[in-house]
Amino acid sequence: MGWTETVRNAEKLVEKTMKGNDASHDAAHVWRVRDLALSLAREEGLSTNPHSMQIVELAALLHDIGDYKYLSDPSQEKIVENFLEEEGIEDDKKKKILSIINGMGFKEEIAGIANSKISPEFGVVQDADRLDAIGAIGIARCFTFGGSRNRVLHDPKIGPRSDLSKEQYVKKEEQTTVNHFHEKLLKLKDLMKTKAGQSRAEKRHKFTEEFLREFYEEWDGRA
């Protein structure tokens, strides 16, 4: 099967499996992450290796299929693995793609299990996903997700949780949307794995900080 057809089939799988998600984790998010990941990969010099670029593209396309936040059936965790087998992806490439997808989440980093899985391909895909979580689009996604879960925008009486464990992070307890900025989003700039990702994160991070300053001033009636 040709590479173009494999990519198109991956795109179809994204559209099919993610069509019911809210707009914070929809197909448009995946297309942005794919484009960002390929762009970062070129900046990091991976474009000289077609094998690497293929790993980056498929991992980026498939990274949110089976996301624990949207799982309704445990069998959905095998969708990506089954897809790669059906597409005839060679074993070495398949293992690398699955390793990226399974290790790139923030909850894995909290648990301290992602560091051993860092490869150039891992770095650009994870950085691309995290870039889409900060800046203007990241802010929009954060409030979209919070709204989908009926979360309170902000409550000064509820402070952000510190020293989060993986279990605490995934726990479905009541949290405000604004606290998510402090618990995760503002930490992402310093967790970028590539120089290209670090460079792009600077502007988005500053925009996110400026938004929060304005938010708090308006909330307190100081603006």
Mean pLDDT, consecutive 10-residue segments, the chain of 223 residues?
92 94 96 98 97 97 86 72 95 95 80 65 97 98 96 93 63 80 95 97 98 97 87
Domain residue spans in the chain?
Answer: 3-219
pLDDT of residue 41: 98
pLDDT of residue 167: 60
pLDDT of residue 164: 63
Structure tokens at 91: 């074993």
pLDDT of residue 95: 95
pLDDT of residue 135: 98
CA angle 171, 176, 177 (to 5 degrees): 100
Contacts for 151 with CB less than 8 Å, ≥ 6 apart: 174, 175, 176, 177
Tell me the C-alpha distance between 3 and 8, whole Å. Answer: 9
Query: What is the architecture of the domain spanning 3-219?
Result: Orthogonal Bundle (1.10)
Q: What is the pTM of this model?
A: 0.91
